[in-house]
Structure formats: structure tokens, C-alpha cells
């Protein structure tokens, strides 16, 4: 079945438009649908009809100026935007033993990558915040953004976590090396993690979402009270080192020495009010 000439011409016309023009076209379609719904809802109701035409009267001049004056001026006077693309330099594992210039370049590249990763994490967290605030207390539509956030936070912590703000690229490289050695020495743990992760994804595909898979006793909002990488600014002096994922270093010691200390942590997604 061939496409009609009108459909073909419309598709070709849309392909010639810029991304900004396509976004404007989509916005106009959405606003047209909004006003159509408002008009249908106002039919047969005197007060609603009065409000509808009043709102249209206030909206029409601004919309006309925007579509007939502002947007054409933007298209005609648009300035070119050049995104700076930095060339990648050799990583620390490619540097010579005494090549200090290579060390410096690799370290600067590492700091830039960490900054970019942190901003990506911040954007993902803001998306999850907006979705959960909008759909509260029904979080099922937010499952994709929550999954993206949790996986990105885990990857960020694996690479940069517990190294402190003064760590350089060599510290990160050694951490990755030690992690690889540990994973090779404990294949049974890695297999169990892979199995649990696969089972978690299958449950999500079936419409089931268990937040305790990621949280292990903490709600989403509780993570903001902890140290980086959840926030990229320092909340304490760099001379103090860095805190681990859970509260402080003494936390692990308390868990190991006192069987009654924080028994629910890591076993459920419930939280304590007091």
C-alpha cells in the first residue's frame, strides 16, 4: 500500500525542518489539542465557556507575537554554536613509567571525565526527583528513570567512590585493578550477582518493581543525606579522607561487633520513623 501524496509531501517537509522547528511544530500540535479539549469540556457550561474564551483572549496576542515575530527573528538571526570537542589523550595505563607529561595529561582527562559523569548523574537524579514528585505516591511510571539513576550511581561509585577528593588517575586505576583481581578470585559471588540482576530485570519486564533490590533498607530520598557521589560538592574538609557508602567507617565495625545493630539494614525496603 503506497503512501498518499499528501502524506509523502508532509513527511518530506518535516525532514527539511530543523530540530528547533520540529519541536515548535510539536508544541503547537499539543497546544491545539489542549484548547480543543478545553472547548469540549466547556460546552453546555456558562461559567466554563466564559473562562475558556477569556483565556483564549489573553493567550491569542502572545501566541501571535511569538509565532509571527519572535520565532522568525530567531531563525533569521540564529548564531552558530560550536561545541568544543577535546581530543582524547593516552590513558594512565598507556603512559611510560617516567613520563610525567603523560601522567599530567591523563590526570586532567580523568578529572574532566569525572566532572562530566557527575553532571550526568545529577541530571538523572533530577529526572527521578521530578517523576517521583509528580506521580507520588504512584511510582510505577518512574521505574525506567529510577533504574537509570541506580545503575549510574552504582557505576559512578565503582569507579570513583571512597577515593576522596584528592585522588588522582593512578588511584582510580589501582582501584579498578584491585576490583578485577577480587572478581576473578570470587567467581561464585559474581555469578550470584549476575543471576540476581537478571531476575530483577525479568520482574520489571513482568510489571513488578522491588525497590529493595537497590535500596537495601533506604528510601530514595535518604541517599541525599549521604556523602558523594550523590552530591558533587564537598560537605567536609578534604583532609578527613572520604566516607564510604554507609554513614561512616564505624558503621561496618558496629555491624560486625554487635549482631543487634541495624538488623533490618540490607534485608528490606522498610524505614524507621524514629
pLDDT (average), residues 186-205 = 91
% pLDDT > 90, the chain: 29
Q: CA–CA distance from 135 to each of 75, 130, 143, 257 (Å)?
A: 37, 9, 11, 42
pLDDT (average), residues 218-222 = 46
Report which of 122, 118, 87 is spatially closest to residue 105, judged by C-alpha positions: 87
What is the spatial distance between Cα 41 and Cα 39, in angstroms, rounded to a whole number?
Answer: 5
What is the spatial distance between Cα 168 and Cα 104, in angstroms, rounded to a whole number?
Answer: 10
Each residue of 40-57: pLDDT tens digit? 999 988 999 999 999 999
Q: How confident is the model at residue 237 (pLDDT cuts 50, 70, 90)?
A: very low
Whether 158 shows a pLDDT value over 50: the answer reads: yes
User: Are the C-beta atoms of 217 and 267 separated by less than 8 Å?
Assistant: yes
Whether 240 shows a pLDDT value over 70: the answer reads: no
pLDDT at 252: 62
Q: How confident is the model at residue 244 (pLDDT cuts 50, 70, 90)?
A: very low
Q: CA–CA distance from 7 to each of 3, 10, 14, 25 (Å)?
A: 6, 5, 11, 16
The rounded mean pLDDT for the chain is 78
Cell of 174: 589501582
Amino acid at each position: 500500500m503506497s503512501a498518499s501524496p499528501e502524506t509523502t509531501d508532509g513527511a518530506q517537509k518535516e525532514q527539511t525542518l530543523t530540530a528547533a522547528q520540529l519541536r515548535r511544530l510539536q508544541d503547537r500540535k499539543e497546544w491545539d489539542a489542549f484548547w480543543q479539549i478545553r472547548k469540549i469540556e466547556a460546552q453546555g457550561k456558562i461559567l466554563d465557556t466564559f473562562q475558556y474564551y477569556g483565556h483564549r483572549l489573553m493567550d491569542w496576542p502572545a501566541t501571535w507575537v511569538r509565532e509571527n515575530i519572535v520565532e522568525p527573528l530567531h531563525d533569521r538571526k540564529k548564531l552558530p554554536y560550536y561545541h568544543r570537542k577535546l581530543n582524547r589523550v593516552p590513558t594512565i595505563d598507556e603512559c611510560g613509567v617516567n613520563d610525567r607529561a603523560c601522567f599530567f595529561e591523563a590526570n586532567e582527562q580523568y578529572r574532566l571525565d569525572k566532572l562530566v559523569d557527575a553532571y550526568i548523574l545529577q541530571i538523572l537524579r533530577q529526572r527521578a526527583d521530578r517523576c517521583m514528585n509528580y506521580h507520588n505516591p504512584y511510582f510505577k511510571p518512574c521505574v525506567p528513570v529510577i533504574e537509570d539513576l541506580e545503575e549510574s550511581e552504582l557505576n559512578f561509585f565503582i569507579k570513583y567512590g571512597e577515593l576522596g577528593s584528592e585522588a588522582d588517575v593512578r588511584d582510580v586505576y589501582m582501584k579498578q585493578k584491585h576490583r578485577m583481581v577480587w572478581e576473578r578470585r570470587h567467581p561464585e559471588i559474581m555469578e550470584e550477582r549476575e543471576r540476581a540482576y537478571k531476575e530483577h530485570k525479568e520482574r520489571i519486564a513482568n510489571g513488578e518493581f522491588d525497590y529493595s533490590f537497590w535500596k537495601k533498607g533506604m528510601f530514595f530520598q535518604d541517599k541525599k543525606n549521604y556523602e558523594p557521589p550523590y552530591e558533587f560538592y564537598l560537605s567536609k574538609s578534604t583532609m578527613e579522607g572520604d566516607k564510604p557508602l554507609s554513614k561512616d567507617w564505624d558503621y561496618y565495625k558496629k555491624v560486625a561487633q554487635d549482631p543487634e545493630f541495624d538488623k533490618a539494614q540490607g534485608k528490606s525496603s522498610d524505614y524507621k520513623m524514629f
